C-alpha cells in the first residue's frame, strides 16, 4: 500500500534520513520504532509532503505521493500529529469538522461523526467544549477522531503515547487496534517499543537516519540484541 525506497532528507547540512526503505501492506499495523532523533518524525513529514525529501521515492497505492499535503490527505494518507496539535480555540465538533473539510459527501460525513462519537463517547459528551480545555488523553482522542474524519486508508500516528498516563496509553492503543480491525491500515511511530510491539504485525527499527532492523513482531521480540538495545 505504501512503499518507500531509499528516502533521504536533510535540515540544512544535517542528514536526518540516510536512505530509508520500508513498506506498509494493506490491513496491517506497522510500527516504526527508535530513540529520540532517529528520524521517525522526519519520515512522517516526508510521507505527508510537509517536508521535501532530498532523494528516494514514496508511493501510495501504486502512485507517487503528491507534493501537496492536502492532496496527500485526499488520497487517503492521513497523519495524527505528534503532541496532538488540535485547535485549542475551536470546539470538539469544529475540530472534527476540520478533518473532513475536503469532503462533500454529507451523508457519509454524518456516519463518520457517529463512528467517531461511538468510539469516543467522551468526545460526544464534550462536543461543544473548546479543544484546549480537554485533558491530554481527550486531546489525543480528538486528534485521532479528526484523522478518522478524513476517511483514511492509511492512518499514521506520531508518538500517540507521548506525555500520557499509562492507563490512557492502554486505551489509546486499544483504540488504534479497533480502527485497524475496522479496515484501516496503521503506521505507528513510537519510542515506546514495548507497547508498540504488542499490537503491531511488523516493525522497523530506526537509528540515526537509517532502518537498522525489521521483521515481524515475533521475530523482533525474539531478538536478544533488540531487547537489550530498545526494550530494556
Q: Which is nearer to ligand ATP, 92 or 155 (CB)?
A: 155
Q: Which is nearer to ligand ATP, 39 or 131 (CB)?
A: 39
Q: Which of 6, 26, 37, 101 binds ligand ATP (CB under 6 A)?
A: 37
- Choose the binding region for ligand ATP from 11-19, 59-67, 127-135, 194-202 (rule: CB under 6 A): 11-19
Q: Which is nearer to ligand ATP, 1 or 38 (CB)?
A: 38
Q: Which of 40, 126, 151, 213 binds ligand ATP (CB under 6 A)?
A: 40
Residue position matching grid coordinates 532502518: 211
Q: Which is nearer to ligand ATP, 15 or 94 (CB)?
A: 15
- Choose the binding region for ligand ATP from 8-16, 97-105, 130-138, 147-155 (rule: CB under 6 A): 8-16
Q: Which of 8, 21, 41, 129 binds ligand ATP (CB under 6 A)?
A: 41
Q: Tell whether residue 192 is a contact of ligand ATP (CB under 6 A).
A: no
C-alpha 153/C-alpha 146 separation (Å) is 14
- Choose the binding region for ligand ATP from 22-30, 34-42, 69-77, 211-219 (rule: CB under 6 A): 34-42
**Degrees to nearest 5, angle at CA 146 with 143 and 150:** 140
**What residues from 162 to 191 belong to the interface with ligand ATP (CB under 6 A)?**
191
CB of 80 to ligand ATP, least distance (A): 14
For ligand ATP, the binding residues (CB under 6 A) are 11, 14, 16, 34, 36-42, 191
Amino acid at each position: 500500500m505504501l512503499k518507500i525506497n531509499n528516502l533521504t532528507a536533510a535540515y540544512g547540512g544535517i542528514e536526518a534520513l540516510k536512505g530509508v526503505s520500508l513498506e506498509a501492506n494493506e490491513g496491517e499495523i506497522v510500527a516504526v520504532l527508535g530513540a529520540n532523533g532517529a528520524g521517525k518524525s522526519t519520515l512522517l513529514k516526508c510521507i505527508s509532503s510537509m517536508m521535501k525529501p532530498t532523494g528516494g521515492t514514496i508511493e501510495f497505492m501504486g502512485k507517487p505521493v503528491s507534493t501537496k499535503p492536502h492532496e496527500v490527505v485526499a488520497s487517503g494518507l492521513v497523519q495524527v500529529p505528534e503532541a496532538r496539535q488540535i485547535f485549542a480555540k475551536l470546539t470538539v465538533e469544529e475540530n472534527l469538522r476540520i478533518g473532513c473539510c475536503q469532503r462533500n459527501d454529507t451523508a457519509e460525513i454524518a456516519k463518520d461523526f457517529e463512528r467517531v462519537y461511538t468510539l469516543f463517547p467522551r468526545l460526544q459528551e464534550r462536543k461543544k467544549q473548546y479543544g484546549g480545555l480537554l485533558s491530554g488523553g481527550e486531546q489525543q482522542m480528538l486528534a485521532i477522531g479528526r484523522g478518522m474524519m478524513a476517511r483514511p486508508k492509511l492512518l499514521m500516528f506520531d508518538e500517540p503515547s507521548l506525555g500520557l498516563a499509562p492507563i490512557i496509553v492502554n486505551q489509546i492503543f486499544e483504540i488504534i487496534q479497533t480502527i485497524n480491525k475496522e479496515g484501516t491500515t496503521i503506521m505507528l511511530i513510537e519510542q515506546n517499543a514495548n507497547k508498540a510491539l504488542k499490537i503491531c504485525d511488523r516493525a522497523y527499527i530506526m537509528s540515526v537516519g537509517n532502518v537498522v532492523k525489521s521483521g515481524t513482531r515475533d521475530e523482533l521480540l525474539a531478538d536478544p540484541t533488540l531487547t537489550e538495545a530498545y526494550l530494556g
